[in-house]
Structure 1
Amino acid sequence: MAKLDRLLGLVHALSETTEGLTLDEMAERLGVTRRTAERMRDIIARHFDLDELADDRRKRFLIRDSLRRVYTRPTAAEVAALQAEVDGQRAAGRAARASQLASLLAKVKGSLDDREKRRIDPDLDALARIQRTMVTAGPIATVAPETVTVIQSAILAGRCVEFQYATEERPEPRWRRVIPYGLVHGPLTYLLGKIPGRDDQPVYFRLDRMTEAMVSEALGCAPEDWNIDAWLAESFAVWRDEKYDVVLRVRAPSVPRARGWRFHRLQQIEELAGGELRIRFTTGGMRELAEHLFTWGGELAIEGPDALIAVMRERLEAAHAMLNETEPRPILSREPATGAA
């Protein structure tokens, strides 16, 4: 480990000097040749901001920042990735999420000194121009940034959240007080909450349907053993109804695609004869699962449960009605047991 020991010693020497070290001085300190010192300097320059000072005809080198700063300074690629996420959230209309990320981005940029900004600006500009977060089809919902702040403040304070809430079926807002169990981000942002004094499971409340949100005087927080990841895994997406054991059989030509796909975070994969796969998981939300399986066309078969097969038939009838025909086929309807509040 002698070479590594000498290299680390040179890093510390270059960070501790105020006047800089010449190549000859580096070689003398380390007991190596000038050529070896030159190679070590080049390696260090790849990972640290190595300043070069002119001293008559000789060059001196030093690391100006503390070593800790070197490892905490953001790179152009990291800042550009955050910038792309901010732009993507804004383009998707998720103003509240974009506002928080934009604030973080401003703080990251503000922490850079002039020399660091000059160093990353060319790369940052190039990377920011060619990176985008894809905005797909989905609901347009505007959430006030202060609503997110209120909910997060209530969670930290261990208090309930109070707000006026409206739904499509009941456009007239009604007052609600709920215990905040968490925030769930996606195409829509939801408060996962439970009404105090009831034994019901937590339900989703859409933030874009909230007004006059405030931190309540009433205490309320999720139990210590509450696991939001485990709760989310009980449903395919937002809709929550009875849970079923889902069994899907992937046909051989589509196995490579299925191996790189996640149907459910707790899925189990079984190898079958003929190169096929069987995928099993337990979940609720049969309607959302059925609509997702449309994207697989004839690439897989639904082996169970019967409830999922029935819902798939209903969605097929509904999809057929979208075709421009003079005599559309009848549409069967089915309301899920529970869903977003």
Structure 2
Amino acid sequence: MSFGKAVDLLRLARLASGHVGITLSDIEAEFGVVRRTAQRMTDALAQTFPDTEDYIDSDGRKRWRVPRRRVAEFFAPTPDEIATLELACATLEHQGLPTEAGRLRSLRETIKILTPDKRHARLEADEEALLEAMGHAARPGPRPASDPAVDAAIAEALKGPFALEILYRGRQDSAAMKRRVEPYGLLLGARRYLVARDPSKPDGHLRHFRVEDIEHASVTEDWFARDEGFDLETYTRQAFGVFQNQAEFGEVVWKFTARAAPHAARFRFHPDQTSEEQADGSLIVRFSACGYLEMCWHLYAWGDQVEVIAPPALADMVAGHRRGDFPGFP
């Protein structure tokens, strides 16, 4: 058997180890083969794994299933995968999400428990070496403080979804005020924001609550119906950062100088951006979003190597703040 066919057979065994197994149609779609080849593959599967079961499902289709215990040792996690999980845990903690980091570490330990014993020693040694080599893979810089109790309450409310009662201090508040909100998601960045609807507000708009300014949070037993049309990814694409203001939404056009263009070309300023290289070596980037203030914060770091073409209001905000003495780019 060729190496390629052996790899395909192991891949097929992994797919067939699922709860419902795999059909000939599944094999055709997954491997891009014709029906006869798919049939030969199931024959090879049964020969290699004698415990392979075949049965007819409720839709009248024949399925093949391999007991997971027979294929588990072929698919033990690699040291790179385990090390990546640990780095992800560290990143979550640095982002102020200790509850999620704890759950990911629990998953990592569960994976280790399910790994065949004979691989444990090598796996742990390789993981330790990789983590040592990747020890500088951290996200430095300031981050907001986190309260594990508040984080846990938010996570629980989002799973319901249940209404959440928070003690929140807004920018203009002299003291924290009690609010009842319906949580929709979390925005992660330099700061974390809870995206939620305040039923007491007649406009029905979603609002952002800074997580570090939530002094207390408790989950209620009141379930609420989320807007079925809401998608957090689509929602976030409306803004440059986390701030949402529909009055500012519109086309944004930035022009980077020929000196800054190669560096800017490696940036992803917005998921829906387009870039146009100019004859003089400059680069024009376009996207539609709101959040002028956050754009200003970012644009400042580029000094005088970027010009705001549109919108005029953003151009006015950065006018007078462009400087040419920064020694590098963001």
**TM-score relative to the length of structure 2:** 0.70
* Letter of the structure 1 residue corresponding to residue 177 of structure 2: R
- State yes or no: 1:273 paired with 2:279: yes
- Match 1:264 to one of 265, 270, 281: 270
- Residue 253 of structure 1 aligns with which residue? 259
State how far apart, in whole Å, the 2-side matches of 1:114 and 1:10 are. 24
Q: Are residues 171 and 97 of structure 1, via their aligned partners in 2, closer, same or farther at CA, if it must alter by over 3 Å?
A: farther
* Letter of the structure 1 residue corresponding to residue 260 of structure 2: S
State how far apart, in whole Å, the 2-side matches of 1:109 and 1:209 are. 38
SS in structure 2 of the partner of residue 253 of structure 1: coil
* Letter of the structure 2 residue corresponding to residue 82 of structure 1: L
Give 1:308 deviation, angstroms.
0.9
- Residue 229 of structure 1 aligns with which residue? 233
- State yes or no: 1:285 paired with 2:291: yes
8 A Cα contact 1:88 1:135, kept in partner: yes
8 A Cα contact 2:95 2:143, kept in partner: no
- Residue 19 of structure 2 aligns with which residue? none
* Letter of the structure 2 residue corresponding to residue 159 of structure 1: F
- State yes or no: 1:200 paired with 2:204: yes
* Letter of the structure 1 residue corresponding to residue 206 of structure 2: P
- Residue 323 of structure 1 aligns with which residue? none
State how far apart, in whole Å, the 2-side matches of 1:6 and 1:100 are. 37
- Residue 305 of structure 2 aligns with which residue? 299
* Letter of the structure 1 residue corresponding to residue 193 of structure 2: Y
- State yes or no: 1:217 paired with 2:221: yes
State how far apart, in whole Å, the 2-side matches of 1:261 and 1:195 are. 35
Q: Are residues 182 and 259 of structure 1, via their aligned partners in 2, closer, same or farther at CA, if it must alter by over 3 Å?
A: same
* Letter of the structure 2 residue corresponding to residue 133 of structure 1: A
SS in structure 2 of the partner of residue 66 of structure 1: helix
* Letter of the structure 2 residue corresponding to residue 167 of structure 1: G
SS in structure 2 of the partner of residue 245 of structure 1: strand
8 A Cα contact 2:256 2:284, kept in partner: yes
SS in structure 2 of the partner of residue 275 of structure 1: coil
Deviations 1:202-254 (A, max 9, x none): 11112222244222233324211111111111111122232132111122233
8 A Cα contact 1:162 1:177, kept in partner: yes
Gaps of 5+ in 1: 12-64, 321-341
* Letter of the structure 1 residue corresponding to residue 212 of structure 2: D
- State yes or no: 1:80 paired with 2:109: no
- Match 2:167 to one of 147, 164, 168: 164
Give 1:99 deviation, angstroms.
2.7
**TM-score relative to the length of structure 1:** 0.68
Deviations 1:294-322 (A, max 9, x none): 222232221121111222137569xx9xx
State how far apart, in whole Å, the 2-side matches of 1:237 and 1:282 are. 12
8 A Cα contact 2:82 2:127, kept in partner: yes
SS in structure 2 of the partner of residue 167 of structure 1: coil
Bigger Rg over Cα: 1
8 A Cα contact 2:96 2:143, kept in partner: no
Q: Are residues 238 and 315 of structure 1, via their aligned partners in 2, closer, same or farther at CA, if it must alter by over 3 Å?
A: farther
8 A Cα contact 2:79 2:127, kept in partner: yes
8 A Cα contact 2:94 2:143, kept in partner: no
Q: Are residues 259 and 196 of structure 1, via their aligned partners in 2, closer, same or farther at CA, if it must alter by over 3 Å?
A: same
8 A Cα contact 2:187 2:242, kept in partner: no
Q: Are residues 287 and 281 of structure 1, via their aligned partners in 2, closer, same or farther at CA, if it must alter by over 3 Å?
A: same
Give 1:171 deviation, angstroms.
5.0
Deviations 1:109-162 (A, max 9, x none): 333343221121221110111214323322331231x43333233233232111
- State yes or no: 1:309 paired with 2:312: no
- State yes or no: 1:67 paired with 2:71: yes
State how far apart, in whole Å, the 2-side matches of 1:308 and 1:233 are. 18
Q: Are residues 67 and 97 of structure 1, via their aligned partners in 2, closer, same or farther at CA, if it must alter by over 3 Å?
A: closer
8 A Cα contact 2:85 2:104, kept in partner: yes
What percentage of aligned pairs have identical amino acids? 26
Q: Are residues 105 and 211 of structure 1, via their aligned partners in 2, closer, same or farther at CA, if it must alter by over 3 Å?
A: farther
State how far apart, in whole Å, the 2-side matches of 1:255 and 1:167 are. 39
SS in structure 1 of the partner of residue 259 of structure 2: helix
SS in structure 1 of the partner of residue 194 of structure 2: strand
State how far apart, in whole Å, the 1-side matches of 2:7 and 2:229 are. 46
Gaps of 5+ in 2: 11-68, 326-330
8 A Cα contact 2:157 2:164, kept in partner: yes
Deviations 1:31-80 (A, max 9, x none): xxxxxxxxxxxxxxxxxxxxxxxxxxxxxxxxxx6224423x22111111
Aligned-pair RMSD on alpha carbons? 3.1
State how far apart, in whole Å, the 2-side matches of 1:156 and 1:94 are. 16
